[in-house]
Structure 1
Amino acid sequence: MNRIAAALALGLASVLGGCATYAEPPIASAPVEQRDPVTLLVSIDGFHPDYLERGLTPTLSRLAAEGASAAMRPSFPTKTFPNHWTLVTGLVPDHHGITANRMEDTGRPEAPFTMATVDPYWWSEAKPVWVEAEEAGIRSAAMFWPGSAVPWGGTAVRYGPVADGIMASDWQAFSMQVSNTQRVNSVLDWLRRPADIRPEFVTLYFDTVDSAGHGGGPESEQIDTALRDIDSHIRDLVAGLETLGQPANLVIVSDHGMAATGSDKTIVLADIVDPSLYRLVEGGAYATFEPTEGNRAALEAALLREHDRMECWRKGEIPARYQYGTHDRIPPYFCLPETGWTISATASGTSWSGGNHGYDPFSPEMAALFIAHGPAFRRGATLAPFQNTAVAPLLRHLVGLPQASRADGDLADVAPALAAQN
C-alpha cells in the first residue's frame, strides 16, 4: 500500500508539474479610449461672483483658481431668460428678441410670452450655439437651458409648436422636480455613450441658488445652504468626468447677481400716477407700461418727471449704455428704480424681505459669475470685467464653429482666458 501511495503521489506531482508548463498567457487589457475635450456650459442662475469668497464653494473656488475667472457684466434687463439667450447667441436682448421674462407681441396678441413659452415664433430672431453646432454636424445636448425645448425655426399651431425645427440631439424640458443630482447624472450618462452618439457640446442649468436668493436675500442662510449644495454637485460633475476619462472645457457662468430688497424699499405707483392711465406690463425690479386709450399724454406727464429713487423714459430714450429700447416687444414706457428697490402698483400692506434682479447691469450687485477651466484655458488668469455677449463667441471657438457675422460680443473680450495654443 505504501508503494502504491508513493507511486500515485509521484504521478500526481508529474501531472501538476506538467500543468505549470502550459499556463494560460495573461489577457491583454483593452486600449484606453483617447477622448477629445467636450465643451460644457454650466449656468448657476443668480450666482454672484462674490459668493466664491464665503468659503462655502471649494470646488468652484478651485476651478476659478486653476483656470480663468472674471466678474462678468450681464446684459439689460438683468433677468433670467433675456440673459440666458444672450449667453448662447452673443446678442443683447434688444437684438435677439427675448427682451423680458414676460413679453407681449402684436403677432401673438392672444398669448403673452412667459417662461413656459416654447412657440418658435418668439425665439426665431437669433440662433443659439447648439443649433449652429447641429447644423455643422456637431452633436449637442441641453439639460434645461432656457430655450432648449424650442424647435428653432419651426412653425407653430394654435396649441403649441410643431417639432419641425432644429433642436439639440438630446434635451430635457425644464422641471423643478428633476433634482440637481439627476441633472448631473443625465449629463454624465450622455457622455458615457459610444463616440458616434456622444455629445461634443453640452449645456447644464441649475436654478436653486437663484430661488434661494429670491426667498431669503443674498446674505441669507438659504443662500449659504444653496451654495454648499451646488458646489457639491459641481464636485460630482468634475469627479464623474475624471472617472470617464473625459477631458472638458468647462465654462461656468451665471445670468446675473442678486440684490437685497424688501417692503421698506418699495415705490408705489398709485402714489405717482393714476392707475386709469396705464396698463402695467411688468413690475418689480423695473416697470413697463402701455397707456390706456387716449391717455398717452397724461401718462407721460406723470412718468417723465423727476421721482425719488426711480427714472422713467420713453422706450426710445432709454440711455444708450443699456443697449435697450428699439425692439417692438418693449412697451412704450420704462421705469428703472435704484438697485434693490421694487416698483409695485399698490402697497403690499405686509412686511417682507428677499432678493431680486433686473436692475442696472453696471450695478455691482448684478455682477455675474464667469469661470473657464480645462485644456483650452490659461491657469490662474483673472480677467477684467466684460459683457456676457462674449460668451457665445467663446463657445463657438471651443466647439469649432465660425464666428457669427451678426454679433454684439467679440472673442477678443475673453481672449486673455485662452491658453497660448488657442
Structure 2
Amino acid sequence: MLSLDGFRADYLDKARTPNLDSIASVGVSGRLRPSFPTLTFPNHYSMVTGLYPNHHGLVANSFFDKKLGRYSIGDRQSVERGDFYHGEPIWATAGRQGIRSASFFWVGSEAAIGGKRPDYWMQYNSKISPLTRIDSVIHWLSMPQETAPGIILWYIEEPDYTGHTYSPDSRQAIEKVEQMDKVVGEMLARLRKLPNRDQIDFLIVSDHGMATYTPEQSINLAQWLDEKDFEYIVDGVPAILYPLPGKVDKVMKQLEQVPHVKVYRKADIPDRLHYGSNPRIGEIVLIPDIGTYIYFSTNPTFVTGGAHGYDNAHPEMLALFAAFGPDFPNAHRIEQPIPNITIYPLLCRLLGITPAPHDAKEQDVERILQP
C-alpha cells in the first residue's frame, strides 16, 4: 500500500494521470473521507489501526500529554516513543498471526508500539527519492517466501509539500501530481515484471486533501489572546488550545468575536467528528472555515498557501483511493466516500487475519470488495 501525502481526490480531474486512471479500469477507485483532524500523522495512523484519532491517541500533528509531554512530528524523540501510540497497527496484528511486514516511512513504524515494529522498517529521511523507495519495495516483493513480508506500507511526501507551498490550485501542484503519476507508472512497470505479480494486491491511498487559504481570511490569535493564559498552544488548522486551570471561560469569551472560525469546548465538538474526549486534546478547539489559516505570532507573515486539518465534511479534504489485484473487482467505482478507518479491516481481510478492535464498519469493507 502506497500513500501519496496530500493527494486531493479531485486532482485526478485537474491533472493528466494516465497511470492512476488505468487502475480504475482494472480495479477499484473511489475517495477516502479522512478522519478529523484532517492531518498527516493522525490519518496515516487511523488507516493502519482502524481507529479515529480520538481513540488511537495521535490527536493532531502536535499535541500535549500531561504524563509524556509534547508530541510533535518534527521531534524525533517523541515520534519514536511507543507509548504515544495506542491501538494495534496492522504490522502488529499481522505479526501476531504469523505474517511479516515492511514499512518505508509509514507513521508509527519507527516506534516500538506495544513492543512491536514491522519486521523491516526505515528511519525517516525525506531526501530518499521516490525511485529509491520503489527499489526497496520491489526488493521486498522479490524476497524468498520464508523471509518476504506479506504486507508492505510505503509513503511519499508529495504532492502535499508542493500543495502547501504553492496552494492546491497552483500550476506547481498540478505538475507535481503529474510527476507522482509517473512514479506510480514506474511502480506498475516494475510490478509487471515480477513472477508473483498475479498474487499482489496494490492499494494507493492518501491521508487528506488540501485547500487554499488567503491572507485576507487568516487569523492571528495573538490579537485576541494572551500567551500567558496557556500551558500549550497548537496553531494552524485546527488550532488546539490548552488554557491554564481557571482560564477556559475567559479565553472562550475572548474568542467570541473571532471571524471565520468555529470555537468549541472540547466536550461540545460535533459527534460526527468523533473527536473531543481524549485527554490529549486541549480544552478549546478552533476549526476554521475553508480558506482560513490560524496563526499565533507576534509578527506573522500572512501568505497564500495550501492547508488541511479542516472539517472532514469539506469536499476539498477528500483523498485518493485506488486498488487492484486478485482480491479486487474490475472497473468498480465507489461513489460515496469511504471512511479511511476502513483501510485497516480491509487489509486484515486481504491478509486473511483477524483484526483487533476498531471503529470501522464491515459494510464499508464490503462496498470496496463487492462490485
1:214 alignment partner in structure 2: 164
Q: In the aligned structure 2, how far is the partner of 1:351 from the partner of 1:322? A: 29
Cα contact 1:279–1:292 (8 A) shared by 2? yes
2:83 alignment partner in structure 1: 121
Name the aligned partner's letter for residue 223 of structure 2.
D
SS at match of 1:178: coil
Cα contact 2:205–2:320 (8 A) shared by 1? yes
1:183 alignment partner in structure 2: 133
Deviations 1:125-151 (A, max 9, x none): 211111111111111111110111111
SS at match of 2:62: coil
Deviations 1:213-266 (A, max 9, x none): 001110212212211221111111111111112232111110000000132221
Q: Which of 290, 293, 308 matches 2:259?
A: 308
1:133 alignment partner in structure 2: 94
2:206 alignment partner in structure 1: 254
2:155 alignment partner in structure 1: 205
Q: In the aligned structure 1, how far is the partner of 2:48 from the partner of 2:259? A: 37
Pair 1:391-2:343 in alignment: yes
SS at match of 1:413: helix
Q: In the aligned structure 2, how far is the partner of 1:121 from the partner of 1:144? A: 19
2:41 alignment partner in structure 1: 81
Cα contact 2:94–2:101 (8 A) shared by 1? yes
Residues 140-159 of structure 1 correspond to what in structure 2 (within 5 A)?
140-153=101-114
The number of aligned residues is 365
Deviations 1:157-201 (A, max 9, x none): xxxxxxxx2211111111111110100111001112112111111
Residues 60-71 of structure 1 correspond to what in structure 2 (within 5 A)?
60-71=20-31
Name the aligned partner's letter for residue 212 of structure 1.
T
Q: In the aligned structure 2, how far is the partner of 1:241 from the partner of 1:183? A: 14
Residues 48-67 of structure 1 correspond to what in structure 2 (within 5 A)?
48-67=8-27
2:221 alignment partner in structure 1: 269
SS at match of 2:190: helix
Residues 395-410 of structure 1 correspond to what in structure 2 (within 5 A)?
395-404=347-356, 406-410=357-361
Q: CA deviation at 1:314?
A: 1.0
Q: In the aligned structure 1, how far is the partner of 2:14 from the partner of 2:71? A: 40
Pair 1:417-2:365 in alignment: no
Q: Which of 190, 196, 200 matches 1:240?
A: 190
The 1:347/1:309 distance shift into structure 2, 3 A limit, reads farther
Deviations 1:346-368 (A, max 9, x none): 47564521100000001011001
> What's the Cα RMSD here?
1.7
The 1:276/1:55 distance shift into structure 2, 3 A limit, reads closer
2:244 alignment partner in structure 1: 292
Q: In the aligned structure 1, how far is the partner of 2:302 from the partner of 2:346? A: 44
Q: CA deviation at 1:296?
A: 3.1
Q: CA deviation at 1:312?
A: 0.8
2:284 alignment partner in structure 1: 333
Q: CA deviation at 1:409?
A: 0.5
Q: CA deviation at 1:292?
A: 3.3
1:356 alignment partner in structure 2: 307
Pair 1:44-2:12 in alignment: no
Name the aligned partner's letter for residue 73 of structure 2.
T
Name the aligned partner's letter for residue 297 of structure 1.
D
Give percent identity, aligned residues only: 35
Q: In the aligned structure 2, how far is the partner of 1:347 from the partner of 1:386? A: 41
After the TM superposition, which of the residue ranges 328-337 and 227-236 deviates more from structure 2?
227-236
Q: In the aligned structure 2, how far is the partner of 1:68 from the partner of 1:338? A: 32
Cα contact 1:102–1:282 (8 A) shared by 2? yes
SS at match of 1:329: coil
**Which TM-score applies when normalising by structure 2?**
0.93
Name the aligned partner's letter for residue 249 of structure 1.
D
Instruction: Flag the structure with more relative contact order, 1 or 2, with Cα contacts below 8 A and sequence separation at least 6.
Output: 2
After the TM superposition, which of the residue ranges 240-249 and 85-94 deviates more from structure 2?
240-249
Q: CA deviation at 1:280?
A: 4.8
2:71 alignment partner in structure 1: 112
Cα contact 1:70–1:371 (8 A) shared by 2? yes
The 1:284/1:141 distance shift into structure 2, 3 A limit, reads same
Q: CA deviation at 1:275?
A: 3.9
Q: CA deviation at 1:341?
A: 0.4
Compare CA radii of gyration and give the structure with the larger one.
1
Structure 2: gaps (5+ residues): none
Name the aligned partner's letter for residue 71 of structure 2.
P
After the TM superposition, which of the residue ranges 323-332 and 369-378 deviates more from structure 2?
369-378
Name the aligned partner's letter for residue 136 of structure 2.
S
Q: In the aligned structure 2, how far is the partner of 1:351 from the partner of 1:94? A: 31
Deviations 1:367-392 (A, max 9, x none): 01111211111111111212111111
Deviations 1:314-351 (A, max 9, x none): 11111111100000100111111101201112475645
Cα contact 2:15–2:177 (8 A) shared by 1? no
Q: In the aligned structure 2, how far is the partner of 1:399 from the partner of 1:270? A: 50
2:317 alignment partner in structure 1: 366
Q: In the aligned structure 2, how far is the partner of 1:349 from the partner of 1:198? A: 50
Cα contact 1:250–1:372 (8 A) shared by 2? yes
